Amino acid sequence: MKPFLTILVILALAAGAYYVLFTDDGSASSELGADRHFAVENISQVHKIFIADRSGKTTTLTRDGSGWLLNDKYVARQGAVKNVLEVIENVEMKYIPPKAALESITRDMAKNGIKVELYDSADRNIKTFYVGGMTNDESGTHFIMEGSDQPYVMHLPYWNGGLKYRFLMDNEDWRDRHLIQEDPEDITMVRLIYPKQQGKGFDIRKQGSSYYLQSDGEKQKVDASVVMSYLDDFTEPVAEAYHNDKINRDSFLSLIPFALLEYATTDQDTHRASFHPIAQLDDGFSKVERMYVGTSQGDFLLVQMPVFQKMFQSQEFFLR
């Protein structure tokens, strides 16, 4: 009987140790296992994400209604934020690295690791951890909890690859790339001018729930559904990239643009943008597939002509 009781005691102790060390319900079951619980089960808890790399570059993402803000200034690109939240909510421990690897992992973390701080709606720290490089087989990423000296190999069970670069991006890559970041209902004026084609542009104004085409000092009421269709297309296009550091941006902006855009919103803000084609030779013919866009907010973006084509209409479009 005694051997049987001994076996039961051993099994009970083993089960207890497993629970203490490996329970993964979003909160540590003991101090011993707390440094491996990186995931936040209730992702709605996370209202602010602070990211810092070893060079001193920082990024702050803050929840703002249904979206996120970058550094309390710009609209954040939702796809990029979604990738980070996916890691925060679903990251799992793959294995504990062998002791022989700890020195190199720790050294790499100290040199190249990034710090991630998570805060709730009351600005209370939820947890802080560091993200390092990938394993040799690129199937996991090294994580270490602040205050711990034990790194872990973490991964997303349904995705193969490193996780660090979901957190490590230039601020311009975090930014939303919609050129027009407005609700179509809030746009009260759109004016488009083609400097080399005088008279081809248009000037649309909103008064109450009606829209009017301004031309030669006169105004003509136009179909609201046509305008709203245009505004839906107007706010949809996304730029390919920000090029704010491009050396010769001033040279492009000094040229006569293909089009000048001006629009206003209900909060009385007025925004402007100029479109500058990038001509390329194709079988001896000049072809435009991309343009640079300079905005009154100081941004310089690269856009694809086919994506923005519907924006470039004339008066006739609204008179059909």
Has residue 7 got a pLDDT over 60?
no
Q: What angle do CA 306, 311, 316 make, to 5 degrees?
A: 120
How do the domains of the chain map onto residue ranges? Answer: 26-174, 184-318
pLDDT of residue 288: 83
Q: Taking all residues of the chain, what is their mean pLDDT, rounded to a whole number?
A: 87
What is the C-alpha separation between 3 and 138, in angstroms, rounded?
46
42 Cβ neighbours under 8 A, 6+ residues apart: 26
Q: How many residues does the chain have?
A: 320
Q: Do residues 159 and 91 touch, judged by C-beta distance below 8 A?
A: no
Q: Each residue of 111-169: pLDDT tens digit?
A: 999 999 999 999 999 999 999 999 988 889 999 999 999 999 999 998 888 999 999 99
What average pLDDT does range 262-284 have in this prediction?
85
User: What was the pLDDT predicted at 252?
Assistant: 87
Best CA proximity match to 86, nearest among 20, 155, 147: 155
Q: Distance (Å, rounded) from C-alpha 231 to C-alpha 14?
A: 65
pTM: 0.80
Per residue in 190-222, pLDDT tens?
Answer: 999 999 998 889 999 999 999 999 987 788 999
CB count in 10 Å sphere of residue 294:
19
The pLDDT score that the predictor gives to residue 283 is 56
pLDDT of residue 12: 39
pLDDT at 22 over 80: no
CB-based contact 184:265 (threshold 8 Å): no
Edge-first strand listing for the sheet containing 92-95: 74-75, 67-70, 58-64, 48-52, 114-119, 125-134, 141-145, 152-155, 92-95
- Sequence letter at residue 230: Y
pLDDT of residue 25: 38
- Report d(CA 138, CA 317) in Å as an integer: 53
